[in-house]
Structure 1
Amino acid sequence: MSEKLRVIVHNDTTDAMTARLQEIASDVDVLACHSNAELDAAIGSFRPDVVYSVRFEVSQPFPRDSMLGETGPRWISVGGSGCDHLGKWDTERVTVTNSAGVASAMMAEFVLGCALHFTLDIPRLQADKADKTWPIRMVSPLNGKTLLIVGLGQTGQAVAARAKAFGMRVLGTRARPSPVENVDEVYAADDLPKLWAQADFICVCVPLLASTRGLIDQVAFDRMKSSAILIDVSRGGVIVSNAAIQAMNKGKIKGAAFDVFATEPLPPDSPYWDLPNTLISPHCSAVYEGWDLASFDMFLANLERWQTGQTLTNIVDPNRGY
């Protein structure tokens, strides 16, 4: 009799996931881990073939060395889209997949919601309500405005589709420029210096790679319109923090929404908290009710491919980061 496939499910809550897994794959030996420390220890003792892992405990070290070491799995299924916490890996020894696309629709809604927060002047409307005053506020349409999407992956494309529904002109960048539905003009990342000044809204949704770390720096902010709105749903490190803080404090751009930060959770003494005309959210643009099980369903579909010798979907290239 062949040995059972050993699978670790790593998340803060795993009951529904392990139940689904055991329901459809009774020949699998499953172990649940609820912390990075548990995962680290289990890799050496359980010696998994496969690990499904959600990076939820961001304040604790991720057991990268164990995951990619000799007793690590042959396949790592990342429950989110970002794989920068794994660094580089040997594709001859381990396959890494992600759940890219599982939250793209929600993230696109989040981006457009942030844009509307500023165009509808929600902060002053709330202040008027608190003061019980009735001034006439001038709102601004998205129709006719230019949106620059930095990173036309699945999230960027979902943002473009919704922006088009509002009548926006959409520009975007991707590693290999080619026509993209709902995008009026597609450029390479090297073209960004000439694009900053065209954008009324800038959505940042690139992965964190060597090529994107520090992509939006002081020079980029200097080239943006003073009326621009920046919305960052990428990864902490793509935007240079000091440059962003300085730009907002000096009013170089009109407003910003930051969902990701180089240090998470954001420390209480971070200057970000006191920035004017700024939305701060706790890396939640991809978190919606049921996202975790939707991601796990993608894993289960891939697990069937794994067991039947088919090519997995969403395989990540460590050199490209996606």
Structure 2
Amino acid sequence: MEQLLAIMPLSEQQRSTVRNMGVNIVTADDIARKQVAPDDITIMYGWNAEISLPVLKAPHSHLKWIQTFSAGVDYLPLSEIAQHHIVVTNASGIHGPAIAQAILGYIFYFTRGLWTAEQRRPERFWEQSADDLLVADETSAIIFSTGHIAVETARLLHQMNVYVAGVNRTGHPADNFDETYAIDDYQKGLAKADIIINVMPGTPATTGFFNQQFFDQLDHKLLFINVGRGSSVVNDALLNALKQGRVKYAALDVVDPEPLPKDSPLWANDHILLTPHVSGVVDHLDTRLFPILYDNLKTFVSTGLVSRNQVDLSAGY
């Protein structure tokens, strides 16, 4: 019988559904009370290093599959997981609408006078002005990624008649994008864009991608948005770009490190909108994630395989 360690809480109805599939549910308390040995766990629902690492590192671990509650998996010890031939599936798809809507919010903040109003609030300055006001269809965007989140973002931007380019590994076409570019040949698309959006996962290949060399290519861009990973942006390079006018504004939902230290210069720059890694937060995560677990459990119990959202451990997403 499969032993599922439920780090992510399961409702009574969900627990009943899982048990009816012939899967036993184990909690961290069961392991702490030594009612179940870490070696016996075969499936892990969620990840908590304090709980999960002893299971992974157990001398005779039987762990076969980890279902995460996030789309990004860079916080997992992927190389060790790969060495043990453990399958990882993620939550890709459930955070897409929330992040896409947050991206639109960042764009509106800087194009529809919200930023200007907040700058004037301390002086209680009231003046109607068209300065810095833009309509979305007057802009174009480039999104670094063409995954679930990027596709949903491009769909919403298209509804406002924004021209959207995408960047992926090979430049292959993707839904809702007007054009796509390969990651090593994106410069033509970048030159035409007013808004730059990063949705790339955290991998060795994306670490420090948005560095001084990248920002030196920019010429009076409107907005840089990062909802991917903080590790992809070199903070000093972004600050230099803002100071030099290469990009006018930045909206950062992810930073490196997190939490952002109180003495970070990112806090003091009023051309930066900071949100504390909340763009992907959704209500009722447990009910949104369970269908992915359920679909994968059905195939895993019968075949030992998973059917949805398997992560390429070598690529990191």
TM-score interval for Structure 1 and Structure 2 normalised by the shorter chain? 0.7 to 0.9
After TM superposition, give the deviation of residue 248 of structure 1 in Å: 2.8
CA deviation digits over 1:24-56, x for unaligned, max 9? 12243323349xxx89x999636311001156x
CA-to-aligned-CA distance 1:228-259 (integer Å, 9 cap, x gap) = 20110101211112212332344431101101
Q: List per-residue Cα deviations over 1:162-187 (Å, max 9, x = no partner).
A: 11111111111111322222211111
Checking the alignment, whether the CA contact within 8 Å between 1:174 and 1:188 is kept in structure 2 is yes
For residues 129 and 62 of structure 2, the distance between their equivalents in structure 1, rounded to whole angstroms, comes to: 59
Residue 301 (structure 1) aligned with residue 265 (structure 2):
no
> How is 1:160-309 mapped onto 2 (pairs within 5 angstroms)?
160-309=154-303
The residue number in structure 2 matching 1:85 is 75
| CA-to-aligned-CA distance 1:168-217 (integer Å, 9 cap, x gap) | 11111111322222211111001133433321001100111121111111
> Given the two structures, how large is their TM-score scaled by the length of structure 2?
0.87
Match of 1:109 in 2: 101
Whether the 8 Å CA contact 1:198–1:225 is kept in 2: the answer is no
- Hey, what's the Cα distance between the residues in 2 that align with 1:220 and 1:137? 33
Residue from 147, 153, 178 that aligns with 2:141 = 147
In 2, Cα distance between the equivalents of 1:215 and 1:62?
33
Q: Partners in 1 of 2:93 and 2:251 — Cα distance? A: 22
> How far apart in 1 are the matches of 2:54 and 2:12?
29
Check conservation: 1:248, 1:275, Cα contact below 8 A: no
Find the aligned partners of 1:133 and 1:254 in 2 and give their Cα distance: 22
| Farther off after superposition, 242-251 or 111-120 | 242-251
> Take 2:83 and 2:274, find their aligned partners in 1: how far apart are those partners?
37
Identity percentage of aligned residues: 25
The equivalent residue for 2:42 is 49
TM-score after normalising by structure 1: 0.86
Runs of 5+ in structure 2 lacking a partner? none
Query: Relative to structure 1, is the Cα distance of residues 210 and 62 closer, same or farther in structure 2, using a 3 angstrom cutoff?
Result: farther
Paired with 2:230 and 2:44, the residues of 1 have a C-alpha distance of 25
Range moving further from structure 2, 83-92 or 196-205:
83-92
More displaced stretch, 103-112 vs 63-72: 63-72
- Superposition deviation, residue 8 in structure 1: 1.1
Aligned to 2:7: 10
Relative distance call for 1:127 and 1:92 in structure 2 (3 A) is: closer
1:75 corresponds, among 49, 65, 75, to 65
SS of alignment partner, residue 229 of structure 2: coil
- TM-fit CA distance, 1:128: 5.1
Distance in 2, Cα, partners of 1:249 & 1:219: 15
Give yes or no for contact 1:8–1:52 (8 Å, CA) kept in 2. yes
Shift of 1:92: 6.5
| Aligned-residue RMSD, C-alpha | 2.6
Distance 1:45 1:179 in 2: 44
Residues 102 and 122 from structure 1, CA distance in 2 versus in 1: closer, same or farther, beyond 3 angstroms?
A: same
Task: Give the Cα separation in 2 of the matches to 1:23 and 1:130.
Answer: 56
**Structure 2 letter corresponding to 1:235:** R
Gaps in structure 1 of 5+ consecutive residues: none
The equivalent residue for 1:28 is: 23
2:185 partner SS: helix
CA separation of 1:192 and 1:265: change in aligned 2, threshold 3 A = same
Give the SS at the match of 2:142. Answer: strand
Structure 1 pair 128–243 and aligned structure 2 pair: CA distance change class (3 A): closer
CA change 1:64–1:275 in 2 (3 A) is farther
1:158 aligns with 2:160: no
